[in-house]
Amino acid sequence: MDNSGIYVGLDIGTTSIKVIVAEYVKGQMNVIGVGREPSDGVNRGVIVDIDKASIAIKRAVESAERKANIQIHDVVAGIPANLLRIEPVRGMIAISDSSREIGNQDVVEVSNAASVHNLPPEQEVVDVLPDEFIVDGFDGIKDPRGMVGVRLEMNGGLITGPKTIIHNLKSAIRQAGLGLVDVVVSPLALGRTILNDGEQDFGTITLDLGAGQSTAAVIHDHHLKYTFVEQEGGQFVTKDISVVLNTSLDNAEQIKQQYGYAVADQASSDAFPVNVVGQNEPVAVTEKYLSEIIEARMEQILTNIKNN
Footprint of ligand ATP (CB under 6 A): 13-16, 39, 45, 210-213, 233-235, 238, 253, 256-257
The piece of 13-21, 98-106, 249-257, 299-307 that touches Mg ion (CB under 5 A) is 13-21
**Which lies closer to ligand ATP via its Cβ, residue 16 or residue 155?**
16
Work out how close the CB of 80 gets to Mg ion at its nearest, in angstroms, rounded to a whole number. 7
Q: Report the nearest approach of ligand ATP to the CB of residue 286 (Å).
A: 18
Residue 189 vs 276, nearer CB to Mg ion:
189
Which option in ligand ATP, Mg ion, none does residue 256 bind, with CB closer than 5 to 8 A by kind? ligand ATP
Q: What is the nearest approach in angstroms of ligand ATP to the Cβ of residue 250?
A: 11
User: Which residues touch 281 (CB under 8 Å, ≥6 apart)?
Assistant: none
Nearer to ligand ATP, 54 or 235 (CB): 235
> Is 13 one of the binding residues for Mg ion (CB under 5 A)?
yes
Nearer to ligand ATP among residue 102 and residue 237 (C-beta) = 237
Least gap, CB of 43 to ligand ATP (angstroms): 9
- String of b and e for 255-276 (b: at least 16 CB within 10 Å)? bbeebbbeebeebeeeeeebbb
Pairing of strands 179-185, 151-162: unpaired
Taking the complex as a whole, the smallest distance from the CB of residue 100 to ligand ATP amounts, in Å, to 46
Q: Choose between 20 and 135: whose C-beta lies nearer to ligand ATP.
A: 20
Query: Are the CB atoms for 133 and 144 separated by under 8 Å?
Result: yes
Report in angstroms how near the CB of residue 235 gets to ligand ATP at its nearest: 5
Closer residue to ligand ATP (CB): 127 or 253: 253
Q: What is the C-alpha to C-alpha distance for residues 102 and 139, in angstroms, rounded to an integer?
A: 15
Residue 235 touches which member of ligand ATP, Mg ion, none, C-beta under 5-8 Å by kind: ligand ATP
- C-alpha to C-alpha distance for 308 and 287, rounded to whole angstroms: 31
List, in sequence order, every residue forming a beta bridge with 264; answer none if it has no partner. none
According to the binding rule CB under 5 A, does residue 9 interact with Mg ion?
no
210 is a contact residue toward Mg ion (CB under 5 A): yes
Query: Which residue, 157 or 233, is less far from ligand ATP as judged by CB?
Result: 233
CB 178 within 8 Å of CB 73? yes
Contact call for residues 287 and 267 (beta carbons, < 8 A): yes
| Interface segment toward Mg ion; rule CB under 5 A; list 71-79, 203-211, 245-253, 286-294 | 203-211
Q: Are 58 and 39 in contact (CB under 8 A)?
A: no
Half-sphere exposure of 29 (CA within 13 A, CB side): 10
Provide the angle, in degrees to the nearest 10, between the axes of the packed helices 287-307 and 249-259: 90
Contacts of 73 (CB under 8 A, 6+ apart): 178, 179
Q: Shortest distance, CB of residue 240 to ligand ATP, whole angstroms? A: 12
* Partner whose footprint covers residue 227, from ligand ATP, Mg ion, none (CB < 5 to 8 Å by kind): none
Q: Among 296, 270, 266, 271, which residue's Cα sits nearest to residue 282?
A: 271
- Residue ranges that bind Mg ion, judged by CB under 5 A: 13, 210
